[in-house]
Amino acid sequence: MLWFGNELLDFKLERKRLVERLINEGVLKTEKVIKAMLTIPREEFVLPEYRKYAYIDSPLPILKGQTISAPHMVALMCEVATLDVGHTVLEIGTGSGYHAAVIAEIVAPKKAVNKGHVYTIERIPELAEFARNNLEKTGYSDRVTVIVGDGTLGYPDAAPYDRIIVTAAAPQEPKPLLEQLKIGGKLIIPIGSRYMQYLYIVEKISERQFKRESVIPCVFVPLIGKYGW
Ligand code: SAM
């Protein structure tokens, strides 16, 4: 709860209202994604001065000129990724750690026997530290590993991955990410110019065959690195 002017903000209620809106808009469809969005407290992943805006469906500034993605984009990316319990997921662009926590709630819920794991890479050390603290205080640090580095190179140590989710705008598909996907695995990635992209689902059919589908236009901060900008 937080005072906002004369109004006492009830974050749980705000979260429920936002999730209901995303269901009505057709963004949220799957029970496990809905449950994850209802569970993760976005207010714990934003800067203190933005807590009161945590349930506005918009990106918000975090540290170093970066953003926490809008809830509808997090929800949509989780939906199109068809995440499942037990999946090993690589996220590129940790930012606040919010999206990684939502993924972890789906692939590694507390009571699951066959828990999956989320590896997430952030190039800015201060943000990786911010995310680690946010994940620790919300109880996800056992299911999410934060790595500092160039995510366009992937993370071979834990490969192959069931899913790879890129949360920054790429000029093309980074080759190492395609290599580190399992056969049958999916890469979710915004591809385009620095200013506008399309969200793509890239499914690995065989070592050399990929099926591509574009979902919607979108705008992300740039993916900076060897196979990025
Ligand atoms: N998923 C984040 C969240 O839940 O808050 C939002 C991600 S923000 C839109 C994109 C992030 O990607 C930024 O934190 C940025 O520093 C990071 N980034 C950009 N290029 C990167 C790279 N090559 N490797 C890892 N992180 C990168």
Please give the single-letter amino acid code of residue 173: E
10-residue averages of pLDDT along the chain (229 residues): 65 97 98 98 97 97 96 98 98 98 98 96 98 98 98 98 98 98 98 97 97 97 97
- Which protein residue's CA is at the shortest distance from atom 27 of ligand 1? 93
Name the pTM for this structure. Answer: 0.96
CA-wise closest residue to 124 among 99, 142, 151: 151
- At 221 the pLDDT is 95
Ligand 1 neighbourhood includes 224 CB (under 6 angstroms): yes
* Whole-angstrom distance, CA of residue 46 vs CA of residue 129: 13
Rounded to the nearest angstrom, the distance between the alpha carbon of 168 and the centre of ligand 1 is 6
Name all domains of the chain by residue range, CATH numbers in brackets.
2-218 (3.40.50.150)
Please give the single-letter amino acid code of residue 135: L
Rounded to the nearest angstrom, the distance between the alpha carbon of 7 and the centre of ligand 1 is 33
Place of tokens 């205080």: 137
Strand partners, 108: none
- At 9 the pLDDT is 77
The tokens describing 175, both together, are 């080759």
- At 42 the pLDDT is 98
193 is catalytic: no
Of residues 58, 69, 141, 206, which has the active-site annotation?
A: 69
- At 7 the pLDDT is 59
